[in-house]
Amino acid sequence: MRTIEDSYALLERLVDEERIYLDPSFPFGRVCRLLGVRREEMDALLTAELGLGGEALFEALRAAFPERLERKYGLKIFFREL
């Protein structure tokens, strides 16, 4: 059985390496279920570590994605005009 710390580390990998927050079929609550951890418990840990709960974190990461593409690849206003 995974500890909350193990689940937090796996969430970090899913966010950093897989960018799971970009897939709308994986909202934060579902990711918590997949990790086998209560949403409230992961929310509390994320808030303590990052100052944001899980849903707010996923929203912030999704919102920053177009800017990241613009910085990295020079794609101007990538999503706004498509």
Tens digit of pLDDT for each residue in 2-54? 899 999 999 999 999 999 999 999 999 999 999 999 999 999 999 999 999 99
DSSP track, 18-67: T-GGG-TTS-HHHHHHHHT--HHHHHHHHHHHHSS-HHHHHHHHHHHHHH
Which residue carries 């951890």 as its tokens? 37
Whether 80 shows a pLDDT value over 60: the answer reads no
- Tokens standing for 33? 């279920």
Q: Mean pLDDT, to the nearest integer, of 63-69?
A: 84
What gap in Å lies between CA 4 and CA 25, rounded to an integer? Answer: 23
* pLDDT given for residue 27 in this prediction: 96
Q: Where are the domains of the chain?
A: 4-73
